[in-house]
Structure 1
Amino acid sequence: MTDRRDDEAEPERLGRLVLPPDRESVPRARRWFRKFTAHEALACSMDDCLLLISELVTNAIVYGEAEGLWRVRVEWYRVGTSLRVEVHNPGFPARVRLRRPGAGEAHGRGLLIVDQLADEWWSGPSAHGGTVVAFVMHKAFAEQRQAGPGI
């Protein structure tokens, strides 16, 4: 986990998806991410991004908790030449932790995978309430978009 680096660029939201907390939401998140980024010609690995989204949405479903109906929110942004993906759930931010499971353990590798494949990742309180876990892929876009003409 590293500190955020793209603070100097204004985030441009490329897509958002709100999902029920069930297992069909994981492949749905992958399909929609692929569909809504297809025209962007990402310079980073689509397979890596899809794996990271799968891990974070799965974690959001497994660890999210609320008293009533709740949803998992996935948002992706262009920040300069970087891609940032955020996954929000109503769980508690303090429960997010990087584990190093033993060889015999079947679960617990999600954030380890995120830590290895993403250029950055972090977790904390979500602006929507609950928890956000985000990853960043630097140089995901070939060039930074130019700002519009000044007034």
Structure 2
Amino acid sequence: MDDSTNPRSGPGSEPLGAMILQPLPQSASLARRWFHKLIAPYGPACSIDDCTLMISELVTNAVLYGWSYEEWVVRVEWFKEGTSLRVEVHNPGTPVNVRVQQSDADDAHGRGLLLVDSIAESWHSRPSRFGGTVVSFVVADAWPTRR
């Protein structure tokens, strides 16, 4: 689901971590390793493997489609919002209407957002507060409610 009106953060949004990556192909695997390591102490109940897959796809897209005339980076940030986890991936590319593409069965690329769309509770794109574009996803029930 694409909703460019989604606010960056709201009441109860708690920053949990962030990383800055170079716009290189190996940044997707670096993002997977570091997110796994940095989120573990928070004890999420959701699938960390699903989250790292979605992060990897969004970082890959940011590296492929982000651009700037100056040196630039890909930013990944994650937040706890109630029992949900929200992850944002920022790149300096021109803000565009990011959308799921329909790929042919023999296409080697073009399924990243389709994966995010099928795994996440929701996903959004909008202009980034750093300039460029941010694509984010939300995983519901990432933390159990306390009794």
Distance 2:128 2:118 in 1: 23
Given the alignment of the two structures, is residue 83 of structure 1 paired with residue 85 of structure 2, yes or no? Answer: yes
**Do 2:2 and 2:125's aligned partners in 1 also have CA atoms closer than 8 Å?**
no
Q: TM-score, normalised by structure 2?
A: 0.91
Gaps of 5+ in 1: 145-151
What's the CA shift for 1:2? Answer: 5.4
- Tell me which residue corresponds to 2:45: 43
Distance 1:7 1:30 in 2: 23
Structure 1, residues 127-147: CA drift from partner, whole Å, max 9, x if none? 110000000001101126xxx
- Tell me which residue corresponds to 1:30: 32
What's the CA shift for 1:10? Answer: 2.2
Amino acid at match of 1:49: C
Distance 1:132 1:46 in 2: 21
**Do 1:76 and 1:83's aligned partners in 2 also have CA atoms closer than 8 Å?**
yes
Q: TM-score, normalised by structure 1?
A: 0.89
**Do 2:20 and 2:74's aligned partners in 1 also have CA atoms closer than 8 Å?**
yes
Distance 1:6 1:132 in 2: 10
Shift in CA distance, 6/19, structure 1 to aligned 2, threshold 3 Å = closer
- Tell me which residue corresponds to 1:149: none
Instruction: Tell me which moved more, 4-13 or 80-89.
Output: 4-13
Amino acid at match of 1:106: A
- Tell me which residue corresponds to 1:60: 62
Amino acid at match of 2:28: V
Structure 1, residues 57-103: CA drift from partner, whole Å, max 9, x if none? 00000000100100000000001110000000001221522101111
Amino acid at match of 2:68: A
Number of aligned residues? 144
Gaps of 5+ in 2: none
Quick check: which has more Rg, 1 or 2?
1
| Moved >4 Å (runs of 4+) | 2-8
3-state SS, counterpart of residue 102 of structure 1: coil
- Tell me which residue corresponds to 1:114: 116
Give the counterpart of 2:98 among 93, 96, 99. 96
Instruction: Tell me which moved more, 90-99 or 113-122.
Output: 90-99
Distance 2:32 2:14 in 1: 20
**Do 1:6 and 1:79's aligned partners in 2 also have CA atoms closer than 8 Å?**
no
Shift in CA distance, 68/115, structure 1 to aligned 2, threshold 3 Å = same
**Do 2:97 and 2:126's aligned partners in 1 also have CA atoms closer than 8 Å?**
no
What's the CA shift for 1:5? Answer: 9.5
